């Protein structure tokens, strides 16, 4: 019976994720601060250019925060069992986008002193920025502890089937492939680590690990064996879900 492994983010992955989240939060805080300044000082016909510039900067800050936050979630994902945390952690970028742009857009359209031109131009740009920030902030395929656990176990089973029951792979620090051979064309001549599938995940701290297709084909050809139907389907399903 195969031993089931539970994904747990390594200390290094958690540390890097914490750093990324800090930078993301700083970007979002500055974006919201600039939004407040724009509401108080820039909704004016004579300040239209500055208002548009502020919206563009707020958008850039929001997108930067979104990217960093998504990267952190792939290093240290939430569990699907904690439904509220799972939703908030993975969709926080979209929530921040609403906070960063919706009040500004409303103030632009409701300002009695602003002309129709200012409302039309700045309001339209604000709406577009809100949509862009919201879409980039949403995670349509959020990572989870359960998803990574499924991947690790599927990959471990496949590696064992093709490696005489031994859970042993090779990996490069900057890559995302798990190799069965250290002379694979994608490993040869590079620094690499070796150990179990779980070791590879802990070493790289990323959630897009895949078994090298070149190594898979080579192992099956050299050993004259085919993956069991269950192992092949589980691997394909787990890696497809992670993309």
Percent of the chain predicted with pLDDT > 70: 93
Contact, 151 vs 238, CB < 8 A? yes
- Say how many CA atoms lie within 13 Å of 211 toward its Cβ: 34
Pairwise CA distance, residues 65 & 71, whole Å: 10
Could you report the per-residue pLDDT of 121-149, keeping only the tens digit for each? 999 999 999 999 999 999 999 999 999 99
The DSSP secondary structure of 21-51, one letter per residue, reads HHHHHHHHHHHHHHHHHIIIII-SGGGHHHH
Q: Is the pLDDT of residue 68 over 90?
A: yes
Pairwise CA distance, residues 121 & 159, whole Å: 58
Work out the pLDDT band at 24, boundaries 50, 70, 90.
very high
The confidence score (pLDDT) of residue 243 equals 60
Work out the pLDDT band at 3, boundaries 50, 70, 90.
low
Could you report the per-residue pLDDT of 91-104, keeping only the tens digit for each? 999 999 999 999 99
Could you report the per-residue pLDDT of 146-162, keeping only the tens digit for each? 999 998 998 999 999 88
Contact, 105 vs 59, CB < 8 A? no
Work out the pLDDT band at 241, boundaries 50, 70, 90.
low
- For 230, phi and psi rounded to 5 degrees? -65, -45
Read off the pLDDT of each residue in 47-55 and give the average, rounded to a whole number. Answer: 97
């Amino acid at each position: 019976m195969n031993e089931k492994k539970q994904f747990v983010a390594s200390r290094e992955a958690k540390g890097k994720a914490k750093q990324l989240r800090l930078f993301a939060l700083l970007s979002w805080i500055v974006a919201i601060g600039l939004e407040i300044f724009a509401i108080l000082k820039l909704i004016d016909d004579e300040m239209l250019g500055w208002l548009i510039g502020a919206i563009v900067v707020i958008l850039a800050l929001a997108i930067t925060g979104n990217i960093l936050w998504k990267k952190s979630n792939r290093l240290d994902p939430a569990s699907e069992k904690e439904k509220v945390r799972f939703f908030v952690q993975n969709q926080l970028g979209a929530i921040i986008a609403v906070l960063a742009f919706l009040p500004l857009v409303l103030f632009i359209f409701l300002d009695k002193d602003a002309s129709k031109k200012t409302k039309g131009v700045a309001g339209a740009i604000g709406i577009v920025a809100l949509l862009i920030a919201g879409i980039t902030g949403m995670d349509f395929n959020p990572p989870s502890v359960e998803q990574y656990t499924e991947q690790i176990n599927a990959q471990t089973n496949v590696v064992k089937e093709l490696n005489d029951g031994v859970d042993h792979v090779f990996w490069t620090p900057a890559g995302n492939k798990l190799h069965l051979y250290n002379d694979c064309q994608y490993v040869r001549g590079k620094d690499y680590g070796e150990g179990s599938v779980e070791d590879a995940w802990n070493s790289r701290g990323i959630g897009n690990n895949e078994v090298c297709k070149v190594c898979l084909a080579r192992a099956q050809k050299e050993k004259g064996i085919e993956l069991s139907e269950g192992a092949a389907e589980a691997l394909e399903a787990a890696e497809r879900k992670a993309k």
